[in-house]
Amino acid sequence: MTAGEAPYSVSEKTLSDLAQKPSTLAASTLHMANVLQSSLELPKLMEMFEREVKQVVPHDGMEYANAEERTQITFGHEARHSCSYDLVVMDKWLGQITFRREQRFSKNETDELEALICALVYPLRNALLYKRALETALKDPVTGINNRAALNATIDREVNLAHRHGNALSVIMLDIDHFKRINDSYGHLAGDVVLCALAKRVMERTRGSDMVFRYGGEEFTVVLSNTDVAGATLLANRIRKSVERLEIVHEDMEIQITVSLGVATLEHGDSATTLLNRADEALYEAKTTGRNRVVTHSTGDAAA
């Protein structure tokens, strides 16, 4: 089918039709099913699927898209003709797969694609469930942003990449000033409202490539790839001033907050632990020397 036509729908119901397929196609489908059982990682699953399909039905490109999961995985390139399939299991839509190539797909080839896709639907469902479980485990339940477990998983990778490629890497730690007073004066529900408002404001002031985490309690961490100490300090001050102007209303009560921030940049010999420790030391200095300010911790030995 060509681009623009409505996609076919492939569901578990179609699996019962496989017995009617030619023996060679049934064997290919069985082989596909066995291959796809080896991974729960969605990108790896789709990579294996695309590779196996190409051996049966040659194509120039394949795309898996699922807007609900904010996921799009693409192989190959655009082409003149395409055929698309909606994937459904137990009335649950799992996304859409599109195959593309310059030559129109024949009826026999679309039948083959449909049969092969039948082997994908259950592994795909399991991979999506696994993906959601991982994302839930790495999200803070109050603010919805990444949690400390996500930071621990991220910071080692970012430090290793920065050292390997000689890129700048900075960290901002920020803490709500006098947060205990907010909980005591307005209640813990108001405290949660404040945390959510702050998380949203920080996300609004950072780039798409920046990573924001709730480190614990009222403390947040921002990891800034390809950002030197000057850029990180500039951003920290922008966040501080923006939070100072933040209007938070809870049950007709207006709550004003400020934050203290500590900045550190990756230096020669730094590990994830030493980088975070220096940012934490800078934050502590900001808290103990007046609050609502930015302190930068740097030895002047930036990683190159």
Q: Check residue 135 and give its pLDDT.
A: 82
Q: What is the pLDDT of residues 34-47, one digit of tens each?
A: 899 999 999 999 99
Nearest CA-CA partner of 94 in 111, 61, 71: 71
Instruction: Give the model's pLDDT for residue 304.
Output: 31
Give strand pairing partners of 89: 92
Measure the CA–CA gap between 60 and 77, rounded to whole angstroms. Answer: 6
pLDDT for position 162: 95
pLDDT attached to residue 91? 85
Which stretches in the chain have pLDDT values below 50?
1-5, 12-16, 18-19, 301-304
> Which single residue is written with the structure tokens 């300090």?
233
Annotation marks residue 218 as catalytic: yes
Helices 107-118, 23-36: crossing angle, 10 deg rounding: 40
Which residue is catalytic, options 50, 112, 218, 219?
218
4-13 confidence digits (pLDDT tens): 345 655 554 4
Superfamily of domain 138-297: Reverse transcriptase/Diguanylate cyclase domain (3.30.70.270)
> Domain 8-136 is of which CATH architecture?
2-Layer Sandwich (3.30)
What pTM value is reported for the model? 0.66
The reported pLDDT for the residue numbered 303 is: 41
Task: Note whether 77 and 36 are within 8 A (CB).
Answer: no
The answer to whether 260 and 287 are in contact (CB under 8 A) is yes
Domain ranges, ordered by start, for the chain: 8-136, 138-297
pLDDT recorded at residue 110 = 93
Phi, psi for residue 266 in degrees, rounded to 5: -55, 135
| pLDDT at res. 297 | 86
Cα angle: 47, vertex 51, 52; to 5 degrees:
120
* Residue partners of 69: CB distance under 8 A and separation at least 6: 95, 128, 131, 132
Cα–Cα dist 279/221, whole Å: 9
H-helix or E-strand containing 246?
Answer: none
Q: Are 212 and 157 in contact (CB under 8 A)?
A: no
Helix, strand, coil percent values for the chain (each to nearest 5) = 50, 25, 25
pLDDT at position 19 is 44
